Amino acid sequence: CGRVLDVACGRGASSRRLGQHFGADCITAINTDMDQLTHAREHGGGTQFVAMDAAELAFPGQAFDHVVSVEAAFHFRTRERFFNEAYRVLKPGGFLAISDLLMTAGCPMVPRENHLHDLAAYQRLITSAGFTGVSVTDVTQQTWKSFRRHFTRFVASDSRRTLDPLSWRALYTINVNGAWAIRT
């Protein structure tokens, strides 16, 4: 089946999707948020969900055929450490498939050490970890508006129960700033 590592699986949607293709028992999914992992485990149907930091993978070398990460690496401390770890746990000939966000410098959603100037710098970061045949594609124009809508719904639904009215102003500010940082 090919072993797949789903890094920063969130609530498990990507893991379930991967399970449909590879088989749920072939997927190992990791995340650091325990609430999200609890949800993922309740709906994961055979996938193994583990609490683990993407930049410190506790797996032996060459344990996976594929590593997948969907829109999360910009949060990791750091992307560079994650790429090195992903390369280490991949079997020879294995694949890293990643979608990621490059935001403008100063965006508070991204650790300072993860800011990159352009796609060429991103590609250099990946190749410096040892990956070859790297293909980086900019899909900003096709995706940033739908990402903003999804981000707004996600944060609003997750926060609806706990935010006081003043926090909604902060949420709005983060949303607008995040959209600007992604679009540019």
pLDDT computed for residue 157 by the predictor: 67
pLDDT computed for residue 30 by the predictor: 98
Which amino acid appears at position 16 of this protein? R
CA gap 33, 170 in Å, rounded = 22
Q: Determine the 3-state secondary structure of 133 from DSSP.
A: coil
Q: Which pair of tokens denotes residue 90? A: 């991949």
pLDDT computed for residue 118 by the predictor: 87
pLDDT computed for residue 136 by the predictor: 93
CA gap 68, 51 in Å, rounded = 16
pLDDT computed for residue 35 by the predictor: 93
Q: Which of 112, 89, 117, 87 is nearest to 28 (CA)?
A: 89
pLDDT computed for residue 159 by the predictor: 52
pLDDT computed for residue 29 by the predictor: 97
Which amino acid appears at position 6 of this protein? D
Q: Which pair of tokens denotes residue 28? A: 């190992």
pLDDT computed for residue 111 by the predictor: 82
pLDDT computed for residue 140 by the predictor: 80
Q: Determine the 3-state secondary structure of 31 from DSSP.
A: strand
CA gap 179, 24 in Å, rounded = 34
Q: Which pair of tokens denotes residue 85? A: 């770890």
Residue 83 neighbours by CB distance under 10 Å: 24
Contacts of 104 (CB under 8 A, 6+ apart): 115, 180, 181, 184
Question: Can you give the pLDDT of all 184 residues of the chain as single tens digits?
Answer: 699 999 999 999 999 999 999 999 999 999 999 999 999 999 978 899 999 999 999 999 999 999 999 989 999 999 999 999 999 999 999 999 999 988 777 777 778 888 888 899 999 999 999 999 999 998 888 877 777 777 777 666 655 555 555 566 666 666 666 665 555 5
Q: Is the peptide bond before 137 cis (omega within 30 degrees of 0)?
A: no
